[in-house]
């Protein structure tokens, strides 16, 4: 049975079996034809989605970008094509995103904004590139100290970034993602971040998952996103401040997995909040109209986040895209049946 690359090995025959990282991404020589084709294709799994993919198509780095979430920055470009998005608290009770693209790379992404002190801890495990518009010198230095290739609008004179005429500044910086990928194609693909199961990974009664139709998350008085389960489409649909959250194509932002993490805020940088990412805390995984409670842990900047159920088992995600809501402990989270 051929499974390969992106450092993944599918264990066992069950649809709920986890994916385990392996040190060798080389496909085996006995690749089998897919469908009617006589051309062998090495199968793999997209490392940031857990979905089946062509091995060769996954052999490129990811691009993480600091994405604006100001009202004047909406709708964001290619937000529904992300693999993983983190939402974080910034100044004034607003939020911004660290969005990561890999399995479905768009030609452009944005609007790109400035870096914050928690972003090195969020982005480092993915490797590849990080795009942002600039930031306070101390935060830029923190990001440049990571192994990531930094793509910085303020320092760029090579045409990687442009300003969109139809958008108001400073919410108008767009990254040419295709060109960024072309220039950095030799970088390694991102490693696996999470454990994936089947399409209903919370079905095991031992996980004590509860039916969920709506997830409500309060970051501050200014930002309170929510998610509604769409059973027909098998996705969560996102709203912000009570209105549907749309991308630049006019589609409502959606996710297969919604992860809610309760996080502490470090105020050592004055008015700039730093989400504490290295540590542990309470977490919920919402998949397929269910929510299971557990904990999250992250041992170091370079380490992935680990989700564990209350019974000690791994909390698995369903194959597909994921949004991770980093809700401060001063905020609130509710799950409606």
Q: Which token pair is 206?
A: 């031992």
Q: Which token pair is 207?
A: 């996980």
The CATH code belonging to domain 63-183 is 3.50.90.10
How many residues make up the chain in this entry? 337
Question: Please, what is the average pLDDT of the chain?
Answer: 90
Q: What is the phi/psi pair of residue 126, to 5°?
A: -85, -20
pTM above 0.85, yes or no: yes
When pLDDT is cut at 50, 70 and 90, the band that residue 41 belongs to is low
User: Residue 36 burial by CB count (10 A; 0-12/13-18/19+): exposed, middle or buried?
Assistant: exposed
DSSP 156-207: --SSSEEE-TTS-TTTTEEEEHHHHHHHTTTSPPPPP-S-B--SSTT-SGGG
- Of 43-52, 85-94, 95-104, 305-314, the least confident: 43-52
When pLDDT is cut at 50, 70 and 90, the band that residue 4 belongs to is very low
DSSP 8-21: EEE-SS-TTPPEEE
Q: Where, residue-wise, is CATH 3.50.90.10 in the chain?
A: 63-183, 205-336
**What pLDDT does 40 receive?**
54
Instruction: For 179-206, write each residue's pLDDT tens digit.
Output: 999 999 999 999 999 999 999 999 999 9
When pLDDT is cut at 50, 70 and 90, the band that residue 94 belongs to is very high
The owner of tokens 């600039």 is: 134
Q: Which fold has domain 205-336?
A: YerB-like fold (3.50.90)
Mean pLDDT within 196-223: 97
**What pLDDT does 39 receive?**
53
When pLDDT is cut at 50, 70 and 90, the band that residue 29 belongs to is very low
Mean pLDDT within 248-257: 98
**Contact yes or no for 304/240 (Cβ under 8 A):** no
Mean pLDDT within 299-318: 98
**What pLDDT does 12 receive?**
33
**What pLDDT does 23 receive?**
34
Assess whether pLDDT exceeds 50 at residue 26.
Answer: no
**What pLDDT does 175 receive?**
98
More confident residue, 21 or 79: 79
Which one, of 236, 244, 225, lies nearest residue 325 by Cα? 225
Q: Which token pair is 313?
A: 């088992």
Assess whether pLDDT exceeds 60 at residue 259.
Answer: yes
Express as a percent the part of the chain with pLDDT over 70.
87
**What pLDDT does 236 receive?**
98
**What pLDDT does 38 receive?**
46
Assess whether pLDDT exceeds 50 at residue 20.
Answer: no
More confident residue, 10 or 230: 230
- Find the Cα–Cα–Cα–Cα dihedral 313, 314, 315, 321, rounded to 10°: -160
């Amino acid at each position: 049975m051929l499974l390969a690359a992106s450092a993944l090995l599918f264990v066992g025959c069950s649809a709920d079996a986890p994916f385990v990282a392996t040190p060798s991404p080389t496909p085996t020589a006995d690749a089998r034809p897919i469908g009617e084709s006589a051309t062998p294709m090495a199968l793999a799994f997209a490392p940031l989605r857990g979905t089946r993919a062509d091995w060769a198509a996954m052999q490129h780095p990811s691009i993480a970008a600091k994405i604006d979430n100001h009202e004047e920055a909406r709708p964001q470009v290619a937000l529904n094509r992300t693999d993983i998005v983190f939402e974080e608290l910034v100044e004034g009770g607003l939020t911004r995103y660290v969005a990561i693209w890999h399995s479905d790379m768009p030609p452009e992404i944005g609007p790109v904004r400035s870096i914050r002190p928690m972003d090195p801890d969020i982005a480092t495990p993915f490797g590849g590139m990080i795009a942002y518009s600039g930031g306070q010198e101390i935060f830029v230095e923190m990001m440049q100290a990571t192994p990531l290739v930094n793509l910085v609008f303020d320092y760029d004179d090579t045409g990687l970034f442009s300003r969109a005429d139809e958008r108001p500044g400073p919410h108008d910086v767009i990254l040419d993602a295709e060109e960024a990928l072309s220039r950095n194609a030799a970088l390694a693909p991102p490693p696996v971040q999470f454990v994936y199961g089947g399409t209903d990974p919370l079905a095991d009664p031992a996980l004590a998952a509860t039916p969920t139709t709506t997830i409500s998350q309060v970051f501050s008085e200014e930002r309170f996103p929510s998610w509604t389960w769409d059973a027909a489409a098998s996705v969560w649909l996102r709203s912000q401040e009570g209105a549907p959250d749309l991308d630049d194509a006019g589609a409502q932002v959606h996710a297969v997995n919604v992860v809610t993490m309760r996080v502490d805020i470090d105020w050592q940088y004055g008015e700039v909040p730093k989400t504490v990412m290295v540590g542990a805390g309470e977490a919920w995984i919402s998949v397929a109209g269910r929510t299971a409670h557990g904990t999250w842990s992250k041992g170091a900047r370079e380490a992935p986040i680990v989700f564990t159920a209350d019974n000690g088992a791994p909390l698995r995600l369903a194959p597909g895209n994921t949004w991770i809501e980093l809700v401060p402990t001063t905020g609130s989270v509710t799950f409606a049946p």
